Amino acid sequence: MIKPERIKDEFLELASISSMSRREGAVARRLESILKSMGASVEVDDAGEKVGGETGNILARFAGTKPDAPPFLLSAHMDTVGPAEKIHLEVEGDIVHTDRTTVLGGDDKAGIVSIFEAIRVLREEKIPHGDIEVILSICEETGLLGAKHFDTGRLRAKRGLVLDVDGVCELITRAPVANRLSFTVTGLEAHAGICPERGLSAIQINLGRIQGGLATNIVPTRVVVDGETRSLSVAKLEAQTEHMRQRFEEAAARHAVRLEDGERRARVEVKVDRQYERLDVADTAKVVTLVAGAAKGLGKSFKTRATGGGSDANVYTTRGIEIANLACGMRDIHTVHEWVDLKDLYTTASIVLETVRLNALSP
Q: What is the pLDDT of residue 258?
A: 87
Arch. (CATH architecture) of 177-275: 2-Layer Sandwich (3.30)
Residue 96 in contact with residue 15, Cβ under 8 Å?
A: yes
Question: Does the pTM exceed 0.75?
Answer: yes
Count of positions (residues) in the chain: 363
CATH 3.40.630.10 residue window(s) in the chain: 4-176+278-361
Q: Higher model confidence: residue 104 or residue 215?
A: 104
AA identity, residue 330: M
Q: What is the pLDDT of residue 183?
A: 87
Q: Higher model confidence: residue 265 or residue 285?
A: 285
In whole numbers, what is the pLDDT of the chain averaged over residues? Answer: 93
Active site amino acids: 79, 140
Q: What is the pLDDT of residue 298?
A: 97
**Alpha helical stretches, state H, 83-193:** 106-124, 145-148
pLDDT in tens, 200-235: 776 666 544 567 777 767 767 777 888 889 999 999
CATH 3.30.70.360 residue window(s) in the chain: 177-275
* pLDDT level of residue 36 (50, 70, 90 thresholds): very high
Q: What is the pLDDT of residue 363?
A: 67
Q: What is the pLDDT of residue 204?
A: 66
| DSSP per position, 44-106 | E-SHHHHHT-S---EEEEE--SSTTSPPEEEEEE--B-SS-SS--EEEETTEEEE-SSS---H
Q: What is the pLDDT of residue 208?
A: 44
Residue 83 in contact with residue 101, Cβ under 8 Å?
A: yes
Q: What is the pLDDT of residue 71?
A: 98
Q: What is the pLDDT of residue 342?
A: 98
Arch. (CATH architecture) of 4-176+278-361: 3-Layer(aba) Sandwich (3.40)
Residues β-bridged to residue 226: 182
pLDDT at residue 256 greater than cutoff 90? no
* pLDDT level of residue 82 (50, 70, 90 thresholds): very high
What's the CA gap between 210 and 363, in Å, rounded?
Answer: 54
Q: What is the pLDDT of residue 184?
A: 87
pLDDT at residue 93 greater than cutoff 80? yes
Q: How far apart are the first and last CA of the chain?
A: 26
Residue 174 in contact with residue 325, Cβ under 8 Å?
A: no
Q: What is the pLDDT of residue 190?
A: 77
Least confidently predicted of 231-245, 247-261, 327-341, 347-361: 247-261
User: Average of pLDDT values for 181-207?
Assistant: 74
